[in-house]
Amino acid sequence: MGRLTGILKLAMAGVLSVGANFSPLVAQPCRGVENELAAAASALRRGDVSDAERVLSSVQTSHPECAEALLGLGQAKSARKDHQAAYRLLVQYNELVPQDARGYVSLAELLLAMGKPGQADALSAKGLSVDPNSVPALVLRGRILGMKGDWSQATDLLAQACKLAPTNPEPYFELGVLHDRRQESAKAAEQFEKVVKLSPQNPRAYDYLALSLEPLGQYQRAEWAYKEGLKVNQGPLFDSFLDYNYGRFLVKLNRLEEAATHLDRAVQLAPATRATYYERAKLKEKQGNFEQARLDAEKALSLKDPGGVILDLQVYYLLARIYKQLGEEALAATYARLAETAKVPIKARMRGGR
């Protein structure tokens, strides 16, 4: 346990497309503003949501029948986390252009972000039924099936997406994530190696690659991936847990001073995450700074960890050791008893100690 990654999405699925990629019902009403739509799509990809909204709003004014602008605005509102506005726009697009899989994909992505996986599941299936060869639909459907534990079908769909779009990094990324969840490190690393070649500015891909290489004992290559990820860790794919994972890796190599720099930054980037304080507490314990270790461990215990990355019992054991070093025998005994009686959630046991 103790490893974290950023959000799984590589980029917005079904991102705005132009020209020959228009649906037949969309192309004619959007004629004359193809360049503007291309500029908006570029702005969305680089995370410049305000610029995209400005251009798309202008297109809507000049070409009110251009549904493509509606789709783009829905995606922009979704990126801004204006969920209600995004939902209205994307529902409207799907009603206007029901044969375009991109609309269903974008709405399903939004519903996932809104914590409505059941509705997202249904829409992802709808999108794939509308266009069985849509790469965004295949990727999203594969991702959702993987979340549901349907590994076989998810793998098949993502492999199909990879064949249809061999230069698109997103299918490889999601296939790597699927293997990572199954703790198939070698298979995961193989996919993430492809992603970093196709998308060398993606910090999350480097993070996942490093995490996949670690259990294979490929430490030199893993460190290269961490460092490359940190070099490009900016923009819409910023990975707030890259420093945490690299710091944890450096602790494992007993490079404590280097680790401290990254774990301090990890706490700043993710101050509400138990794992960051827990890992820094372990580092301080190794350095003999038991008072700071105590503060970090107590802070870790105060934070919820719904993902089960760091269990209560792990923090209890850590606190028992720390308080023993501080000479607080009663508190050490209390936390030792808590550790012995703590229950391990089934989901945590299934994680296999990752």
The structure tokens 């910023």 sit at 238
The structure tokens 């590589």 sit at 10
pLDDT for 29: 85
Pair of tokens at residue 344: 């391990």
pLDDT for 112: 96
**pLDDT of 106-133, one tens digit each?**
999 999 999 999 999 999 999 999 999 9
Entry pTM = 0.88
pLDDT for 28: 79
Tell me how far apart the alpha carbons of residues 202 and 52 are, in angstroms, rounded to a whole number: 21
DSSP sequence for 169-217: HHHHHHHHHHHHHTT-HHHHHHHHHHHHHH-TT-HHHHHHHHHHHGGGT
Q: Smallest Cα–Cα separation from 30: which of 41, 19, 43, 39? A: 19
Q: Smallest Cα–Cα separation from 107: which of 67, 129, 131, 137? A: 137
pLDDT for 251: 97
DSSP sequence for 135-149: HHHHHHHHHHHHHTT
The three state secondary structure string of 241-279 is CHHHHHHHHHHHCCCHHHHHHHHHHHHHHCCCCHHHHHH
Q: Smallest Cα–Cα separation from 135: which of 223, 14, 242, 21? A: 14
pLDDT for 20: 35
Q: Smallest Cα–Cα separation from 16: which of 102, 141, 134? A: 102
Pair of tokens at residue 242: 């890259």
pLDDT mean for each 10 residues of the chain (354 residues): 52 39 63 91 90 93 92 94 96 95 97 96 97 97 96 97 97 97 97 98 98 98 98 94 98 97 98 98 98 98 93 97 97 96 63 34
Tell me how far apart the alpha carbons of residues 318 and 304 are, in angstroms, rounded to a whole number: 17
Q: Smallest Cα–Cα separation from 130: which of 28, 23, 9, 27? A: 23
pLDDT for 47: 86
Q: Smallest Cα–Cα separation from 336: which of 315, 350, 310? A: 315
pLDDT for 220: 98
Pair of tokens at residue 220: 């030199």
pLDDT for 45: 86
